[in-house]
Copies of this chain bind each other. A is one copy, B any other.
């Protein structure tokens, strides 16, 4: 593996240096193009043979789609749900979007946002991305009820749901991700402050994956049950176009947008850890060591759902998570992008569980009703993992298309063409 000396950020920003420029472009390309695979993380943009220091790693803010979706998952997440202040109307939402977009563009590229007195805290974005979503109620506040997509509504109540309202739907959401927790905190703070006249924090859901450099680049992230999580994700542009990006159908303001499903999923470590490894693998349908299907050897081997063991029983259990989650042959549209983060916070007072951990499960798809709901319905009916997991929060958001700094050919700020032209 070739490793190059770190770039200075100044060199990066002014486009100096040939070698450095290559690495810089690799970083920049991450948001604009779906990643070559969904596994790479951190500062190398998934390009083997090139490594920059995290300090110099920038994900392009502008593009056909918002960054933070096809972007390989960074190490740290702040997902912030906001309540619009009383009386904020279309003009108010427009001002908020203009301000948040401009601030985010600057923060993500290492520039000081207008009015900020903290240049030292924004110098190294470390792959910072900011992704904005609209809850159903924003369309009402903006007098755009007639434009609300049909699927932008609460998911059905599933039988096993134990939803806590405190993790419920909000008017707006910002998904802020970075490989640096200090940058993440400062960016979050800046956006909360700059939006304070229009919206207040309702909840903040914090999550994490491996730090940059703490996992082999070829490995898919693991959750706190130790499971490899995200193997079936779309990997290249065509799959993203099929599953994630809204294109061609619908009004002009929706082109390039997507939807975000948020499910907060508690994982009961205390009971999970009573299982032996074989039972853990059977409940998932995959091996714990490398995520391979139980009928295969490697993570990306195609599962053989017909294979049986010496007793004639299916090797991959019919109630395993993998079997229940897969799209049926006659419904290939039941796929989506998983971008889950682990959470692990202090136990609630009086809780019987020793730990308070699980997933901030984020799914991106064109249409949650067609793509996500049928999968979750099957899992809710019979997924062996249900013995150890509980869905405790749920929300759905429309995620506006990407932007361009000068507004040419794209919105200059999030949802501009919805708010100004629709």
By a beta-carbon cutoff of 8 Å, the part of chain A in contact with chain B is 1, 3-6, 43, 51, 53-55, 75-76, 117-121, 124, 126, 179-183, 185-186, 188-189, 192-193, 196, 200-201, 203-204, 206, 208-216, 222, 224, 226, 269-270, 273, 276-277, 280, 288-289, 342, 344-347, 354-355, 357
Contact = CB atoms under 8 A, between A and B. Distances in A.
B182 A354 contact: no
Contact of A213 (B55, B216, B273): B55
Contacts of A121: 222, 226
Q: Which of A51, A181, A188 has the most chain B CB within a 10 Å cutoff?
A: A181
Contact of A5 (B1, B118, B192, B226): B1
B185 A344 contact: yes
A269 B346 CA distance: 23
Contacts of A289: 119-120
A54 B181 contact: no
28 contacts: A3-B3, A3-B4, A3-B5, A53-B214, A54-B214, A55-B213, A76-B211, A117-B280, A118-B226, A119-B289, A120-B226, A120-B289, A121-B222, A124-B214, A124-B215, A179-B211, A180-B210, A181-B209, A182-B208, A182-B209, A182-B210, A182-B224, A185-B342, A189-B269, A200-B354, A203-B346, A204-B347, A206-B345
Q: Which 10 A-B pairs have the closest CB atoms?
A: A181-B208, A54-B213, A180-B214, A204-B346, A185-B344, A180-B211, A3-B3, A54-B214, A126-B214, A118-B226
Nearest to A291: B120
Given A182-B210, A211-B180, A193 B354 contact: yes
Contacts of A214: 53-55, 124, 126, 179-180, 182-183
A299 to B, nearest CB: 12
Contacts of A124: 210, 214-215
